[in-house]
Structure 1
Amino acid sequence: MEVSQKIVDYAIWYYLKYYPSKKALENKLFEKFGPNSEKAKIYGGIGQETVDEILNQKMASIISEEEVARAKIKNYVEKNKNVSYIKSKMFQKKFEKELVLEILEKEFDFENNSLLSESKLRNQILALKQNGKSKNYIRRKFLERKQDKELIEGILEDIFKDGEFENILKEYEKIKQKGLDKQKIFQKLFAKGFSYDDIKQVMKD
């Protein structure tokens, strides 16, 4: 049975608008035109053979899985996303694991280097500090790989060179307004990553 041109046109439109992975586009076509879709009565409910023909023949000159995957990964890197975030997002989008890891290795040497931008990371850490976050909280948020450790620790040491007293005091005053007893306040501050000695000092003052 000849493939409806309307289905092919939709597939091309969807691909050029969203640049999904090949697998994600396949899923979309089944959702839109498959046997259980609303349009099945009109188009007969396309099956795997028809979808394969659309993707591998009709759209062979349009689909470029590797280029699309590379562009999406570069976009995440430019947004200063870490490796686990990038892999998670790419796998959610149905890109093949081998392809994603190959691009990360060839383009960014991710096994040996940090993908984080120092200037962007510094701004992010500074914003968190200004929002009252502790050094330990920020460290836990960003430090997921040994390749990132030197960069993150260097920025933390610089930004927190005067200590955390101001941040602890800010959080202490905020929590104290909730009417909690001292033990609860201490527990909340400790859970936020502030050190035992610093918390005791602030609460004593």
Structure 2
Amino acid sequence: MKVLIAYYSTYGHVHQMAEAIAEGVRDVDGAEAILRRVPETLPQGVLEQMGALEAQKAFAHVPVCTVEELAEADAVILGTPTRFGNMCGQMRQFLDATGQLWASGALIGKVGSVFTSTATQHGGQEATLLSTHISLLHHGFVIVGLPYAFQGQMRIDEVTGGSPYGASTIAGGQGERLPSENELAGARFQGKHVAQIAAKLKG
């Protein structure tokens, strides 16, 4: 059973969450976690000005995702940073290229899930997760979030991401905050939860 984790990461926060998601997927017998980056759309010069080129070297080894890989997977977990309360442009462009899959119904009945990162605590995490669900629903995905069985999202002793809609992390205004152990635990829980449900549907 294949679980595709397709993500875009600018400075590495979403990448770290994706790796934790993959760990959770691998906890399920017979589940294979496939990590993929969605194609970059920004010129190298712009990425350099943003200070992102150096950070992206850490995950440059992750293969770039193709649209066809969505159809080959049993479950798809998308990871995107937030851009003004919505998915990033790179993820939008990638999903906009899936018209043929939509026309053929290739993704109907697959499990779909989303995780995200924002600069600030209330920077649009839930809006991004929910608005990304819309694209998945149009494709016929069965949406899976992060249930309250993950008790880490009930915490009030620290600032933390995580909602019933999916795992999330807070990066800080300059990207200086890395995902906390609680946020990574939420990502691992989500990966395992998605894989378990996908296994039941496949079975």
**Common fold: TM-score over 0.5:** no
Shorter-chain TM band: under 0.3
Q: Which has the higher contact order (CA 8 A, sep 6+)?
A: 2
Going by fraction, where is helix more abundant, 1 or 2?
1
TM-score scaled to structure 2, two decimals?
0.23
TM-score scaled to structure 1, two decimals?
0.22
- Greater gyration radius: 1
